[in-house]
C-alpha cells in the first residue's frame, strides 16, 4: 500500500504539472516556481504534512517538497530568533539536498561531454 500511495501522490503532482504545461503558456521555469510556492502554501495550512504521511516518498521527491522544506526552516527559525531568523533559517532544512545536487552536478560535468 505504501508504494501505491507514493505512486498516486507523485503521479498526481506530475500529471498536474503536465496538464498545466499543455494548457497554458507557462514555461517549465514558471511551473517550477509555481510548485515550490504551492508547497509553501500547503505547508502553511498544515496540509503538506498530511500528504507526506500518506504519500511518503511520492510527496517528498517532487519540487513541492522543496517549498515545504523552505517553509519549515523559515518558520522554525522565525519562532526561535524572531523576524531576523526568518531569512537565516530559510535553507536550514533543505541545505543537504541542495548541497548533494550541486556536488553531483559537478561530478557529472567532469564525465559528460557537451554537444555542440
pLDDT (tens digit per residue) in 26-58:
999 999 999 999 999 999 999 999 999 999 988
Instruction: List the grid coordinates of 112.
Output: 559528460
With beta carbons less than 8 A apart as the criterion, state whether 70 and 36 touch: yes
- pLDDT at res. 88: 77
Q: Residue 10: pLDDT above 90?
A: yes
Asked whether the predicted pLDDT for residue 115 surpasses 80, the reply is no
pTM: 0.79
Q: What pLDDT sits at residue 52?
A: 92
Taking residues 55-78, report their average pLDDT.
88
pLDDT at 84 over 90: no
Which 8-state DSSP code applies to residue 103? H
* Mean per-residue pLDDT, 46-74: 90
Burial of residue 70 (CB within 10 Å: 0-12, 13-18, 19+) is buried
Query: What's the mean per-residue pLDDT of the chain?
Result: 89
Amino acid at each position: 500500500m505504501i508504494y501505491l500511495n507514493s505512486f498516486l501522490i507523485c503521479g498526481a503532482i506530475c500529471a498536474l504539472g503536465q496538464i498545466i504545461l499543455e494548457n497554458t503558456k507557462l514555461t517549465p521555469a514558471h511551473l517550477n516556481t509555481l510548485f515550490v510556492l504551492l508547497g509553501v502554501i500547503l505547508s502553511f495550512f498544515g496540509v503538506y504534512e498530511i500528504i507526506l504521511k500518506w504519500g511518503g516518498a511520492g510527496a517528498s521527491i517532487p519540487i513541492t517538497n522543496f517549498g515545504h522544506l523552505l517553509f519549515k526552516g523559515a518558520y522554525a527559525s522565525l519562532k526561535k530568533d524572531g523576524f531576523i531568523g526568518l531569512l537565516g533559517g530559510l535553507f536550514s532544512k533543505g541545505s543537504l539536498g541542495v548541497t548533494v545536487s550541486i556536488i553531483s552536478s559537478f561530478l557529472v560535468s567532469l564525465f559528460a561531454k557537451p554537444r555542440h
